[in-house]
Structure 1
């Protein structure tokens, strides 16, 4: 799906994600985790890409689902993102940490002026 970079659409994406995850058979706790991770990825794209649109792709697996959030924005150096200090949390900077904590597999590809892809997978019946 192609989505306009407007924070108001994150709620619709959360509903779509919830419906797909429910049909696959995820528990309510897992669905909430997936929705939070997707919200964080979408918010990152909206806030940081400087692109007017981003793309979301849902892939249903035999044992779970993969969600890709992609933008064609400014990109960033993945290595420059600091590990958050959980003893002194800040208001910003926890998004990628939250995504990696809630999902089973996460990969991030980003290239300057070519955009970013966050690929997140959640497997059925796997506890983090």
Structure 2
């Protein structure tokens, strides 16, 4: 029986939950996105979104635990998109996020009343094509960016036959 070609190459990275390693996460996804043919602006968007997701994990995930823990990043390289999951096993959200919590300025709040660093989830939703956030045992942020050829999503890019 012939071995089936994988639907996506997978690249997994586990980093200590420390700000010192955020650059490694951004550099990794930048290299993957560059290899896939994303534009410079799209690569910068992807790096910023991943940086924000990782920063949220560093700031919030393990604050009530004695050990710092890890940030897990998985990239799925598909022919037409890059799917990135950033997850931790830290403190999850108490309840699901409401749509208004994904905007930087909640209705009726003044700019002076905004918390510092409160733009992360808004930026992730703005920069990526699809975003799913789950909070069960920890938090998982799944982000997808589609490869566009001449301004439209394309499917002429191929992946390798081996899974990384």
1:78 corresponds in structure 2 to 96
The residue correspondences of 1:13-24 to structure 2 (distance < 5 A) are 13-24=25-36
Instruction: Choose 69-78 or 84-93, whichever is displaced more.
Output: 84-93
* Whole-angstrom distance in 1 between the partners of 2:117 and 2:50: 17
SS in 2 for 1:79: coil
Q: TM (normalized to structure 1)?
A: 0.89
CA RMSD of aligned residues (A): 1.9
Structure 1: 5+ residue runs without aligned partners? none
2:160 corresponds in structure 1 to none
1:26 corresponds in structure 2 to 38
Greater than 2 Å deviation, 4+ residue runs: 77-84, 89-92
* Whole-angstrom distance in 1 between the partners of 2:89 and 2:105: 30
| Greater helix share, structure number | 1
Structure 2: 5+ residue runs without aligned partners? 1-12, 63-67, 153-164
SS in 2 for 1:92: coil
Residues 10-61 of structure 1: CA deviation (Å, up to 9, x unaligned): 1111111111000000000000000000000000011110151110001001
Residues 99-123 of structure 1: CA deviation (Å, up to 9, x unaligned): 0000000000002xx1010000000
Q: TM (normalized to structure 2)?
A: 0.71
